[in-house]
Structure formats: structure tokens, C-alpha cells
Amino acid sequence: MQAVNQNNLDGEQNPESATNSTERLKQASDRQTPAEVLALLSEDNDDQVRLLVAKNPATPHHVAAKLARDNSLVVRRGLATDRSCPVEILSVLAEDTDATVREVAKRTRRSLLATYQHIFNVALT
């Protein structure tokens, strides 16, 4: 999916220029949205847009890492529940200032590590 609406002065499409949040929400959750657009959307004023970027498997690692330190609890809690979140980022969230984010991130990380261990053990047999 391409960035929506108007072009910025450099001729590049700018997701912030979308006339409504529905289009930005759609882009943020679309796996086909280019990484550059997801990076721009990760700075959106709407925490629901940032949450969808955080949970999008196409979001680059460095963008997800930045969102792990987002000011919004909604974004950090959502990222902490995401089983596609890299373990390194879950480890950052496991040290969050919010107790719920910490506990959910630890639970998600344990679950992922158990899954990885199971897959590794099956592959060796």
C-alpha cells in the first residue's frame, strides 16, 4: 500500500497528510506498507496509529525498538503482547517503568523462548 494523499515539498508521499486517521490506521496495520512509511507513522500523534505500527510484522527492528520507549502505555503494552516482537525488544520492555508492561513483556518473552527451545529440540531429533 502506498502512502496516502498529498505529496510533501520533496515530492515524497507523506502519511501525516492523510485527511483522516482511518487511512493512517489502515497503512499502519498493512504488511505491504513500505518501511519508510511505517517509520513516519511511528511518529504519528495518534497512539493507536503508533500501536498498529508497533504490532505490524513489517515494521523495521529499529522502529519497534524506538516504540518500546514510547510515551504511551497503550503502545508499550501492545508491543509487549506481540509474539512477533523480537526478544531483544521484549527484554527492554521487561525493564519498563510500568508494572503491567514489565509483566506482560516477561510473559511474552518466556513464551517465545519456550517455543524456540521446543523448535530447536525437535530439529535436533
Residue that is written with C-alpha cell 513516519 in the block: 40
Distance CA 54, CA 48 (A): 10
Q: Across the chain, how many H-helices and E-strands are there?
A: 7, 0
Place of cell 529499529: 62
| pLDDT recorded at residue 123 | 65
Which one has a higher pLDDT value, 115 or 17? 115
pLDDT band of residue 31 (cuts 50, 70, 90) is: very high
Mean pLDDT computed over 63-83? 96
Q: What pTM did the predictor assign? A: 0.76
The reported pLDDT for the residue numbered 125 is 61
